[in-house]
Structure 1
């Protein structure tokens, strides 16, 4: 069953949660939801980067998670200057950067996430029953650029 929890109208809680079985067009719908929240929070400046990173994480779910079920979480950071997006699933396999030829069709998703997000990482559930892949995009981080913070899991450099 698909399920969405959005903040109540009277609540200032800056979070959106959705639990879906992902399909071919799911990333498009989640990008729209993300952009609506970012615009509402005054964070339109990070929308393009956040949408690209979200698309890559959802593509990984569609390609690699049995049953394609995941939960997405969208949080406004406590200082209000950025967004954190989490994609959690029940698959214990930790995503990794696929090393291959430059003409390969896949394997660049986490490289893109690293390029556009200010922080990202993977948190494995303690019981081994899944993981959460997350990223943060900051609206204005003085001296910080995309990928400036060491993520929990960092892709290996490519030759």
Structure 2
């Protein structure tokens, strides 16, 4: 079967990312399975990304890709902009606003990247994920991330 161009590009990106993460992890002490060092998990994650990239490249794709919207000619810009914009808002609001506004903005803006989501759905999703994030990270794991930053 013929290989899809987008599959090859995705596999190449995963391979490059995996190699970079694995090489970065090897800069730290790897340790052993019983006493893992700081480079153990990045190395393992890099190898996993390399493996997934190889699997994607080796797996033939179906010849009919018209139904899944994976054509390379029509690059979808809105999802990319919304996800990147959401992450940038999380970084800025995490520093100057706290966990609640940062998480809410991240999920709300990222959810708007899907054309099927309305503003009401994005608001509801952002509210639910923010409540879950506060419960899990602030109260459950007691991560030192203030809920709100004033001033």
Q: Using structure 2 for the length normalisation, give the TM-score.
A: 0.30
Task: Give the number of the structure whose alpha-carbon radius of gyration is greater.
Answer: 2
- Which has more strand, going by share of residues? 1
- Which has more helix, going by share of residues? 2
